[in-house]
Amino acid sequence: MTSFLLAGTFGAQLDVWFSGFDYSIFQFFGNMQNYILTIIAKGFTAMGSTMYVAMFAVLGLILCFFRRTRKVGFAVVFAVIIGTLLTNVLIKPWALRIRPYNTLQGNAAYWSWYVGAGMLSESDYCFPSGHTTGATEIAIALMLCHLSSKRKRAKAFFWVFPLVAILVGASRVYLMVHYPTDIIGGFIIGIVAGVCGYFLSKAVCLIFKKDRTPEALAAKKKNLRGGAILMLILVWLCMFGLSFYQVLTSGGE
């Protein structure tokens, strides 16, 4: 009965409409698989995991309490909230697209690629990709905050964030846990969430905008020094390390 109902879902229609496109991308990544690339793919997929995105949102919440990092903090928090609601609350339960390692078990080539990539598995539906949404919403929020910064050094590195999001999405296909069209959906939702998060952050920061005297501006410049930046890097490394370990220890038969 359940199979009959799922046969009429939007996710099942995506399987039909994009079967050739999705399989050709699976084939592309499957043919390049090797041990080193698989470890790298798991590293990037860790940067879109639920644990990583949740910890990033907590870090963003902490940054909201400091004037100099408030815009970034609110942008990340709002982006994650919006992306999570759209992906996990609205679209996934509506689309009901079953994971490829469930629907393509009869395809010997796909199955060999899936086994070769470590047989990772997820407990939910797959459209759109939650990992890709999470990585993209954070990337777009950070990218827009950096582009709007008055510091030239910050603007120079804006491209790093979308590049990471693209690699996270690619890693999900490489590991054979998402259809390529799931990744495209995740990019779209992530971009929407990131843009909305950024503009909501700007609106909220206007409320906190108070003293702009020269003395206040001088004090503001002392709030974030090299030690604080180093601390942020160490916190990020801990977040990534925990998420990466979780991915490395997952999978198998």
Residue with tokens 């797959």: 126
Specify the pLDDT at position 217. 45
Q: Give the CA dihedral 68, 150, 227, 64, nearest 10 degrees.
A: 20
pLDDT interval class at 4 (50, 70, 90): very low
Q: φ, ψ for residue 228 (rounded to 5)?
A: -70, -40
Specify the pLDDT at position 148. 84
Specify the pLDDT at position 196. 97
pLDDT interval class at 22 (50, 70, 90): very high
**Which residues fall within 8 angstroms of residue 80, CB to CB, at 6 or more apart?**
53, 54, 56, 57, 60, 134, 137, 138, 193, 197
Does this model's pTM top 0.85? yes
pLDDT interval class at 227 (50, 70, 90): low
Structure letter (DSSP) for residue 66: S
CB 25 within 8 A of CB 104: no
Q: Which of 57, 35, 47 is nearest to 244 (CA)?
A: 47
